[in-house]
Chains A and B, each alone.
Chain A
Amino acid sequence: MAYQKDDVPVMQKWLDNPYLLVFLGITIPTVIYIVWGVMEIANIPIAH
């Protein structure tokens, strides 16, 4: 059966887009884990 591009559901179009997946897979953990974590460490007061 021929593959019809117009029949493809939206979610499948997202999952077929490796660039979008790469973007999400790097951005989300970078923001939630690394950036948020580094901001917390940077805000720890320095002992005197």
Chain B
Amino acid sequence: METTYRICPRSGLQFEDQAEKLMRFHAVCGVLSLLVGGIMALGVILTRWPAVHLLPADIFYLVLTAHGVDMLIFWIIFFEMAVLIFASSTLLRCRIATPKIAWFSSWLMVVGAIMTNIAIFQGESSVMFTSYVPMQAKWHFYLGLILFAVGALLICFVFLGTLVVAKAENTYEGSIPLVTFGALTACIIAIFTIAGGAIILVPTFFWSIGYIREIDTLMYRVIWWSLGHSSQQINVSAHVAIWYAIAAIVFGAKPMSEKVSRTAYFLYILFLQLASAHHILSDPGMSSEWKIVNTSYFMYFAVFASMIHGMTVPGAIEQAQRLKGYNKGLFEWLRKAPWGNPAFSAMFLSLVGFGFLGGITGVMMGAEQLNMLIHNTIYVPGHFHATVVVGTTLAFMGLTYFLVPALFKREVMFPGFAKIQPYLYGLAMYIVSLVMMGAGTLGVSRRHWDMAFAGAPMAYEWPGAAYLMMGLTGIFGVVAIVGGAGWILQIVLSIFFGKKLEGGEQRSIPQVLTLPPPTPGGAAHPPATPGTLVLALVFLTAFILYYFVNWKYLSSLWGLS
């Protein structure tokens, strides 16, 4: 097939013509979705901030629906499709399989995203991200989601086809690179996610147009969460792959152990999707066996895998830094890391926040008994803002600082702002997640428009701390939105008006990916990583303390003794 390959003079990466255009297309669609979702975030946060309480109830639920769908589905999955194309065609140095199908699928995703947004903004589909039945949205809300999902599913098959092309055309030797393996994990979880979505959204669509009389509410919830939660597990696999990629790009770091990292991804493939069940832990009708097997026994394998990645990524960075001579004490390697490089700072903030805030709280919520403490409170959005916003979005933002020069051939504008942006956005989101979880622990509801329940016949008097934490959610939410809006503005302006960079050599035949020769000495005896070990022990201590504090809290609530 006739195509051309561009060798980027800055990164050495090889971009196939169609793959490069597709990546740009998906990155731009993702950023546009983030823009819509971000504007909606302002409406959500300024309404949940009790002192402001900006929007009336009907507009609030419309805005909340748009925020959830645009952020959790469209932004994330558009960007992930770009990651899949990058990890296959670019990293394996081959042409993309079936580019016409890839373009058709990409446009299908765009049509779906626009259709669902139209349904939401028309005002009769304010069913929120979860769209639980018997609440009914307009037909094009569901149809848009189905079209988007079909498009994403086809791109997953294009990704798998590209792996086949690379293998058949011998563009790499041995196993696929670890980052591509991480993308393969994301792709597999995406196929399960989209299939689960189809199983429930297709009948729901027919219900919305009157061909099906009713949808069982529990059936909907159980199957819908195989879409709703697993879609966020695609993120986990993708952002962990990006952590490895940024460690390699910024430090030249190699994984501490390919075997261990790949085994951890394998555990994701087998077990990560089962965490969906933690949304059903308080539902009657499902047995404790189903709940506990899904959210505890098997999910812990996936948690174990995340802890492995959380240790091997900083471990790989520590090894690379120590090989460069940063050997003083436990943490010289970390102190001398390029904290002014936004790709690194975003990645490291993502890693720490995902582990400490998102990971630990996710395990706590996955225990059936502890889940009762916080079920359907604002603790839940606190948790997933730590995983999806701090973990995934921040990692994606970090990668973009590398992609703008490499993929769009433009210099990133406003480098001074770029240095502080990950801190502004990331640390503000750390605080937002924490105070949301604090308010949730006090019982503040997950979605209610008015936490004061003004005018309700049975008023509830919240402790002052609940109002304080919701106020802090508002303040730091606005700071995070400023950081996110600044990033969007910076990236869009850079793409259109940034200084043009040299495109690099064009070739008609791909350059084969060859394995690097074994490094004498360094590879055989890699430096020890005591700093990472200390960080891991700090993490485990925090994990144990937080877990037992919650058991103590549960026992004090019930007064069992």
Contacts and interface: CB of A to CB of B under 8 A. Distances in A.
A32 B188 contact: no
Contacts of A21: 184-185, 188, 266, 269
Interface string B137-180: 00000000000000000000000100100000000011110000
B326 to A, nearest CB: 30
Given A29-B271, A33-B276, A38-B223, 15 more contacts: A1-B515, A1-B518, A12-B262, A16-B175, A16-B176, A18-B184, A22-B160, A22-B188, A25-B188, A26-B195, A28-B270, A29-B273, A33-B294, A34-B223, A40-B285
- Size band of the interface chain A makes with B: 20 to 34
Contact of B262 (A15, A28, A37): A15
A41 B219 contact: yes
B517 interface: yes
A23 to B, nearest CB: 9
Nearest to B273: A29
A32 B298 contact: yes
A30 B285 CA distance: 19
Given A1-B517, A15-B266, A18-B160, A29 B188 contact: no
B226 interface: yes
B218 A18 contact: no
Interface string A1-43: 1110000000110011010011011101110111011101100
Contacts of A28: 270-271
Contact of A34 (B181, B226, B298, B515): B226
Contacts of A44: 218, 285
B274 A32 contact: yes
A1 B262 CA distance: 22
22 contacts: A3-B174, A3-B515, A12-B262, A16-B176, A22-B160, A25-B188, A25-B189, A25-B270, A25-B273, A26-B188, A28-B271, A29-B192, A29-B273, A32-B274, A33-B276, A34-B223, A37-B223, A37-B277, A38-B222, A38-B223, A40-B287, A44-B285
B63 interface: no
B113 to A, nearest CB: 25
Interface SS of A by simple majority = helix
Interface string B266-284: 1001110110110010000
Contacts of A30: 192, 195
A7 B277 CA distance: 41
A37 to B, nearest CB: 5
Interface SS of B by simple majority = helix
Contact of A33 (B163, B173, B216, B226): B226
Contacts of A25: 185, 188-189, 191-192, 269-270, 273
A12 to B, nearest CB: 7
B534 interface: no
A22 B173 CA distance: 22
Interface residues of B, number: 45
B274 A40 contact: no
B199 interface: yes
B290 interface: yes
Contact of A15 (B160, B181, B196, B286): B181
B293 interface: yes
Given A37-B222, A38-B223, A26 B191 contact: yes
Contacts of B185: 21, 25
Nearest to B518: A1
A31 to B, nearest CB: 11
Given A18-B163, A32-B298, A40 B286 contact: yes
Given A12-B175, A16-B175, A29 B274 contact: yes
Contact of A41 (B184, B262, B269, B285): B285
A29 B226 contact: yes
A47 B163 CA distance: 52
Nearest to B190: A25
Contact of A32 (B173, B175, B230, B294): B294
Contacts of B290: 36-37, 40
Contacts of B174: 3
Contacts of B160: 18, 22
Please list the 7 inter-chain residue pairs (A to B) with the smallest Cβ-Cβ separation, ordered nearest first.
A25-B188, A29-B273, A25-B269, A3-B173, A37-B222, A3-B174, A26-B192
A25 B181 CA distance: 13
Interface in B73-130: none
Interface string B225-256: 01000100000000000000000000000000
A48 B286 CA distance: 20
B452 to A, nearest CB: 36
Contacts of A12: 175, 259, 262
Interface in B454-509: none
Given A15-B181, A26-B188, A40-B286, A33 B269 contact: no
A24 to B, nearest CB: 6
